A and B are shown apart, each in its own frame.
Chain A
């Protein structure tokens, strides 16, 4: 690869790549994201390789891994271009069929197409799938097209052109103005205006400045940052380059947690390739601007997603937040002005520079612009990554994109913003999703986790789960967070075990307010949100646990009882066989009975009973 020294070099390189791509008459894109790797997409790719070789197609058909298209639930995913035929849940046995039918014959293989669950109609193109239809995939759509380990793929779709534009057509202040006008807000959770942050960092005195990309995503059930860095690492690099040029920084760090090995690997490959191509290093594209990026690997502490803790971690110290009075934009990494943004924020930057702030600010609501990626998980039919314009309602996300509840149950609430966010009840599902309205509802945008819960979820149990998660992830510096969360966990444990008393809720609330008020960093300040929002919208569930000593959702084991209905029991003996505690007695064809004293309340009998005779209350 020769170094790109000017804008015309870049344009020429792009034309070369596009010309070379024309020799392929078909492209087979296998999703290589973490989700599909878990489903075994390596085997799928190997099988394709073998099959294409067998049919002597290896020179005309391009086989490649791509980033994650987001529909992880349906993996492994394979897309065949140029017709963009979208195959899901592909098995190794299907590959000869895909090669002979689709690639050679031009026909579709019906049984691995996505089927519309309502209309029972097969869908060929991913764009027509309800999951994708309501989305607006500005950032994620490139994931489907490019091989994250090949810089050529990114250049082919117009990559690094925003950098060229920023370096040669814009002044640093102009770039900052553009970002400010676009209304882009930090996607890490707090929603601080990105342009303002850049401006503060640019104006901060100091000759050495840093930019940092925060990919220390640790929320349970959230994986959008991983997916972006894994699927399109060059877009992050390009964003950082533009940001660094605007701020006046010459060094950057990508902070990745070590639980993201693929993201780490792809970022490393991207940096090496970008350096070889001349997008990193000295005199980038002949502009005189120098920039270097390093990867800092985190140990996987949730608290290191917090800016000052992350900076401490890069410095080689214990990941622990420090006082916030002086912002990181004036005194950050090694005491120098530091601009830290989330992966998704950086990924938005090249788009804004390329298409302009007017275009970007036309998307979204008055105060929240652009799109946001959510990881939609929980009790909905379609789970995965969804990118939607700001201002879309929760209802649209959960019912149109998510496909509504599983097994005909009723959806009760959605938890947004991860452990720092809160639960929003179904009655508020018409709420537009933007920074302000979510905060008003007692939750937050957070980094974009969205966990859907149905009537089978106990809100006390959910609150308990998040408190225990945060208790374990708190760094332990502040007394309020360390001891307060421990005590909140104890109280919630007590409530779910039926040991709650009249004081429990009041004490919990009192404690929650103080923990939020006195903790130093965002972790502690937002930690009580799940509890406070659950108390706000589902107080009756807490009261049921405490006063009636029962769990309405039948989740909290000490408060529920299994029994077999006499009229319904057919005496098949299935429950008796599966019971791990040998708590079920009864002769064949006669009524069975559960011995409450032995029952471990695992629920296997209820799951296996065909006659629906097992009752839980």
Chain B
């Protein structure tokens, strides 16, 4: 049977493109080489929309533009997307600063902060390793069929936890969670004093291959994203 692929037309940063129906704005943007930073997104895991880093400005022709996460927003006909508007940049910069203040020793926080040009963090620094991106939970649930992890608590008390803090039988110690955890990727320059900003990865002209092991969080040229 022949599968009929439907397409929709949309505009991203002034560029008119045609993409497959059913995809997300993030996928469409990446198809045409526009890089939108993400933290909690990973291909082949369901989009979560928790880090908000991939927000873009979307308007549907009614003149009202709103911010939404591109990883969860499905493309639709006639949609206008701005990935670099001042509103988006302002939001993304603040989010990067918040992330960095909370987890300065997580590489992806450093990378995104550097990429967004954050030079100073105006909040008291903390040193969390878990950034609550939920990748481990989705990895466990969706790819490994483990169902061993979930979020518990709410607000600032939120944490990733096993049910009742006991390892369930469904956990086979596959380490899939560790594999996707951005908190386990230490910054290239090693553990830093909170408040110190790395920012080397982003200066690609100075350091062409900064990473010994490219991660999805790095924005240097060796990174496929």
Contact = CB atoms under 8 A, between A and B. Distances in A.
Contacts of A324: 68
Interface residue SS majority, chain A: helix
A209 interface: no
Contact of A518 (B52, B73, B124): B52
Contact of A301 (B39, B67, B154): B154
Residue picked from B48, B87, B94, B132, most chain A C-beta under 10 Å = B94
Contacts of A473: 154-155
A476 B155 CA distance: 4
B222 interface: no
A517 B87 contact: yes
A484 interface: yes
Given A478-B50, A483-B99, A486-B156, A323 B151 contact: no
A303 B87 CA distance: 26
B90 interface: yes
Given A325-B73, A478-B52, A520-B49, A483 B158 contact: no
B50 A490 contact: no
B74 interface: yes
Interface in A468-522: 471-480, 482-487, 490, 503, 507, 510-511, 513-514, 517-520
B101 interface: yes
Nearest to A470: B155
A518 B67 contact: yes
Interface string A458-473: 0000000000000111
Given A473-B154, A514-B90, A490 B52 contact: no
B25 to A, nearest CB: 10
Contact of B50 (A471, A472, A477, A484): A477
A323 B98 contact: no
A602 interface: no
B122 interface: yes
Given A483-B98, A507-B122, A518-B52, A475 B91 contact: no
Nearest to B96: A479
A562 to B, nearest CB: 31
A318 B69 contact: no
B124 to A, nearest CB: 7
Contact of B51 (A476, A479, A503, A517): A479
A142 to B, nearest CB: 37
* Residues of B in contact with A, size category: 35 or more
Contacts of B49: 322-323, 477-478, 520
B106 to A, nearest CB: 12
Contacts of B156: 471-472, 474, 476, 482, 486
A503 B122 CA distance: 9
Interface in A157-190: none
Given A318-B151, A325-B72, A479 B94 contact: no
B53 interface: yes
Contacts of A514: 90-91, 94-95
Interface residues of A, number: 36
Chain B CB within 10 Å, residue with most, of A326, A473, A510, A519: A510
B57 to A, nearest CB: 10
B52 A487 contact: no
Interface in B95-127: 95, 98-99, 101-102, 122-124
Interface string A323-354: 11110000000000000000000000000000
A430 to B, nearest CB: 30
Contacts of A471: 155-156
B33 interface: no
A510 B94 CA distance: 8
Contacts of A482: 132, 155-156, 158
Contacts of A320: 151
Interface of A: 301, 303, 318, 320, 322-326, 471-480, 482-487, 490, 503, 507, 510-511, 513-514, 517-520
Q: Which 8 A-B pairs have the closest CB atoms?
A: A476-B158, A323-B72, A514-B94, A483-B98, A474-B155, A518-B52, A518-B91, A477-B50
8 contacts: A323-B69, A323-B72, A324-B68, A325-B74, A476-B151, A480-B98, A487-B123, A503-B122
